[in-house]
Amino acid sequence: MNDPITYEEAMSRSDATHWKRACTEEMEEFVQQKIFSSVPTPIGQKIVGCKWVFKTKLDEEGQIERYKARLVAQGFSQIPGVDFNKTFAPVTRHQTFWTLLALAN
């Protein structure tokens, strides 16, 4: 069985209860980690869309182990300089990581 491509497809299948639970777990994780909150739409601002990505995780024998749902932002719809000015992505170099481990040891 193939993984669903859209939310509507996932919710119309026979295993919809599993996909719904996976979506709920993802949203609860966002709230728990305080990376998601509902806010009013700013006037005159474009809203970044989002999409559910579904993946069935299988065990070594090929049996379904877990249903995984991810909510991803459609950042490709943003225009640099209009919708955002800075991009930040924290990255650690391996050398820095090993130095910190050596210091901690």
At residue 46, the pLDDT reads 79
User: What residue numbers bound the domain in which 82 lies?
Assistant: 7-37+47-104
Chain segment 25-65, per-residue pLDDT in tens: 999 998 898 887 778 888 887 788 899 999 999 999 989 99
In a domain, 99, yes or no: yes
At residue 1, the pLDDT reads 66
Q: Which residue has the tokens 């049996």?
A: 63
Domains of the chain: total: 1
At residue 75, the pLDDT reads 78
Q: Tell me if 80 sits within 8 A of 51, measured CB to CB.
A: no
pTM of the model: 0.68
How far apart, in whole angstroms, are the C-alpha atoms of residue 99 and residue 105? 10
Task: Report the amino acid identity of residue 94.
Answer: H
The pLDDT of residue 90 is above 80: no
Give the pLDDT band of residue 71 (cuts 50, 70, 90).
very high
In a domain, 28, yes or no: yes
How far apart, in whole angstroms, are the C-alpha atoms of residue 30 and residue 34? 6
In a domain, 42, yes or no: no
